[in-house]
Amino acid sequence: MPRLIIISNRLPVTIDKKKGELFYYPSAGGLATGLNSLDTKLERLWIGWPGQEINDLKEQEKVTNDLREEGLIPVFLSQKEIELYYEGFSNETIWPHFHYFTQYTTYNEEYWKAYQAVNAKFAALVNANIQAEDFVWVHDYQLMLLPAMIRKEFPNISIGYFLHIPFPSYEIFRILPWREEILEGLLGADQIGFHTFDYMRHFLSAVYRIGGYEHNFGKLTINNRIVNVDVFPMGIDYDKYAYPERIAGKDLVLHQVKKLRSKKRKLIISIDRLDYSKGIPQRIKSFERFIVEHPEYQGKVTLILIVVPSRTHVDQYQELKDEVDTLVGRIDGQYRTFGWSPIQYFYRSFPFGELGALYKAADIAMITPLRDGMNLVAKEFIASKEESKKGVLILSEMAGAANELTEAIIVNPQDSNDMVSAIHRAIEMPESEQATRLQKMQDRLKIYTVKHWASTFMQEQMDLKAFKDQKKTNLLSDTQKEVLLKDYKAAEKRLILLDYDGTLMGFQNDPKKVVPDQELLDILEKFKNTEGNKVVIISGRDKHTLDKWLGHLKLDMAAEHGVWIKRRNEWKTPDVTNTWKKDVRHVLQSLVDRTPGSFIEEKDYSIAWHYRMIDKGLGEKRVREFRDVLLYLTANLDLQVLEGNKVVEVKNAGINKGKATSYWLMKDNYDFMMAIGDDSTDEDTFKALPENAYTIKVGLDQTAARFNILGVENVRKLLTSIVES
């Protein structure tokens, strides 16, 4: 029975040591809540750091045994590892860099080495605890190398990865000296999830520009493995924040709300961990400007500023703490009266019940990070207004949540004019408008909960695995290969149709460079010389090139996708015209003039524009331009446009590899037929052959072929074993 293995830096538990005795407190963050609510019957295991330094081996053993009962497996980290891997590389390199604070990015080789080593330590423990059929789900920026490390030991295991923070634009990401290793690590997963489409877009762009891999609707093919990249915006446990009293007790919550609201002032709340990404000083300064520019609100509005201590060992956090302390002190000292203080500042965390009460009591929430992966506080505030339908959210456009909470007042946190007018608008907003806006956001949050998030991620990962398993069953197995060999040997007349590029030879930037090597020539020669064999090279290439490279073998051939047919050493062509080529060439030449690195390939009855060496985005833009002009030019001509792998080709309609295949089928009767090809033009060949033919598609794409085979090397191996059988 497969299990679900969650791996995150922290386990959802806190260990406390009092007088030598160990106490365990479960800490149910969003992630744990989402996972606990998963409907799947999968047994769950969670691997992570328990948050305490435990060096004594006996004690480690005890903790391991205690936690195992809860399905938790601890990874013990030394003080040095915490310093270098967690506080160092994770929080001083990746965190600032991915949040666009490149001025804080620390480039330290020792941090990087520790990050690699701790990821490897996690991998060792994961590998010791997983089984090949398990589903693995790795979380967040501390463990970006882990997917590839697990993949190395378990090549076929299903691995998901979710990044909780932003993935920065390529221009930022490329600066990291360890960019290749990080991408390689992540791409070990089968599925990579982000909170927003922008993060996904940035990631795919980095994968393309750094790794050279192109995606197709978010799917990448890496070493014949599909990696699904998608958007899964994380939600919250809606009812928990809508009805906090159900957990914390009615008396406590209502009492708190009453106390908070007793002064009849407008309450603005601000809740974050102490972090420079959260834009706390900018928020405080905007609030100050508001009370200065709108003095009528002095005494009538209070900012409740909750800053939860975090990463206190990192220098920038200490500096930020000083800055916030100073700002709040100055503003309070300057504007407070005997009955009013403009800012109530708390540098600590609150128990859940008080937090729930605060949300409920507040009129406005100001959540204005400079960058934030998602921001769950914004969503929790909206949920807390389930009953009252009163409250306004001011939300930064730089938070992932802004993509979903579009009815909030959206601000640019660096634009203090915008921030001041947002506070004013929020205070003055009529209750009916508040209710309408809240209702829309609440309707969404009720559907897209954290449970929904976890289950859609897992469902997609499971579907992907099922798809792969099914694909694998199409891969030509050893047994099927043996049957093929037996049929081949038993047959008297055999037709063997082979595509050239991408099937017998790998791709090159310059199509002229794909000259056949000796191994291939030997294979083809042996095929040709075996009695009963009719070997046909069926290609999109022009006949001159095919003749130059393979002519001496005296094989049958189809060139230009069947425009030219070579049989008994003689080329023939059907009755088609090529007078249209002049006009199309003219259009293509203008593309080449504006697109350095691209070029035209002209064949007798077709003309192609290659853009393998230029930026993919630019190439696609040009193809779109070209299609429009072509539509106009060729309206009355019987032409077709084929879009291949970084090439677009115009040729006469009605001619394809299928027609060419039928030509040979009509010439003789065969008792063994085999066709191998890699791209969409080969599908016509597969479809033209009878059902009992061995049709084999190179790669895992959808196909009309009966079997799939992975890569040119495997095609070569198959052909070699046939000729040597």
Rounded CA separation 207/187 (Å): 9
- Report 30-69 residues binding ligand GDG (CB under 6 A): 30
Q: Which helix (H) or strand (E) holds 22?
A: strand 21-26
Of these, 48, 74, 185, 373, which contacts ligand GDG (CB under 6 A)?
373
**Among 5, 149, 377, 676, interactor with ligand GDG by CB under 6 A:** 377
- The reply to whether 286 sits near ligand GDG by the rule CB under 6 A is no
Contact 129, 47 (CB under 8 A): yes
Window of 80-88, 326-334, 367-375, 670-678 that interacts with ligand GDG by CB under 6 A: 367-375
Smallest gap from residue 686 Cβ to ligand GDG (A): 46
CA R_g for the chain: 32
Nearest Cα residue to 494 out of 519, 531, 522, 460: 531
Write down the least CB distance from residue 413 to ligand GDG, Å.
Answer: 14
Both tokens of 138, joined, read 């790795």
Among 9, 191, 316, 375, binds ligand GDG (CB under 6 A): 375
| Residue closer to ligand GDG (CB basis): 374 or 660 | 374
Among 547, 548, 549, 541, residue whose Cα is nearest residue 570: 547
Residue 11 Cβ vs ligand GDG, minimum distance, rounded to whole Å: 16
> Does 349 participate in binding ligand GDG (rule CB under 6 A)?
yes
Decide if 260 contacts 355 (C-beta within 8 A). no
Between 3 and 273, name the residue whose CB sits nearer to ligand GDG. Answer: 273
Helices (H) and strands (E) in the chain, counts: 27, 29
Least spacing, CB of residue 208 vs ligand GDG, in Å: 25
Q: Which is nearer to ligand GDG, 453 or 694 (CB)?
A: 453
> What x/- string results for residues 248 through 277 when contact with ligand GDG is judged by CB under 6 A?
-----------------------x-x----
Q: Among 165, 419, 498, 523, which residue sits at the site for ligand GDG (rule: CB under 6 A)?
A: 165
Q: What is the 3-state secondary structure (H, E, C) of 122-142?
A: HHHHHHHHCCCCCEEEEECHH
Beta strands 606-610 and 599-602 are antiparallel
Please state the length of the chain: 725
32 vs 38: CA distance, rounded Å: 10
**Number of residues near ligand GDG (by CB under 6 A):** 19
- Does residue 355 belong to the site contacting ligand GDG (CB under 6 A)? yes
Element (H, E) at 403: none
Among residues 372 and 684, whose Cβ is nearest to ligand GDG? 372
Q: Which two tokens stand for residue 182?
A: 């990080």
Only segment of 181-189, 345-353, 555-563, 627-635 that touches ligand GDG (CB under 6 A): 345-353
Q: How far is CA 420 from CA 133, 409, 425, in A?
A: 55, 12, 9
Q: What are phi and psi of 44, to 5 degrees?
A: -115, 140
Structure tokens at 463: 């579907």
Choose the catalytic residue: 140, 230, 363, 499.
499
| Minimum distance of ligand GDG from residue 234's CB (angstroms) | 5
**Contact stretch for ligand GDG (CB under 6 A) within 344-352, 538-546, 567-575, 583-591:** 344-352
For residue 257, give every residue at least 6 positions away whose Cβ sits within 8 Å of its Cβ, in sequence order, or none: 357, 360, 361
Instruction: Note whether 101 binds ligand GDG by CB under 6 A.
Output: no
Contact between 166 and 277 under an 8 Å Cβ cutoff? The reply is: no
In the annotation, is 499 catalytic? yes
- Cα distance between residue 291 and residue 226, in whole Å: 55
The helix (run of H) or strand (run of E) holding residue 517 is: none
- Indicate which single residue of 183, 376, 409, 655 sits in contact with ligand GDG (rule: CB under 6 A): 376
Judged by beta carbon, residue 379 or residue 437, the one nearer ligand GDG is: 379
Closer by beta carbon to ligand GDG, 111 or else 194: 194
Residue 18: phi, psi to the nearest 5? -120, 125
Of 7, 361, 364, 374, the one binding ligand GDG (CB under 6 A) is 374
Query: Smaller CB distance to ligand GDG: residue 396 or 656?
Result: 396
With H, G, I as helix, E, B as strand and everything else as coil, classify residue 363: coil
What is the nearest approach in angstroms of ligand GDG to the Cβ of residue 519?
Answer: 52
Q: Is 9 in the site for ligand GDG (CB under 6 A)?
A: no
The CB-of-347 to ligand GDG minimum distance in angstroms stands at 11
What residue type is assigned to position 508 of the chain?
Answer: Q
Return the active site residues.
499
Positions in the binding site for ligand GDG (CB under 6 A) = 30, 164-165, 234, 271, 273, 306, 308, 349-350, 352, 355, 372-377, 380
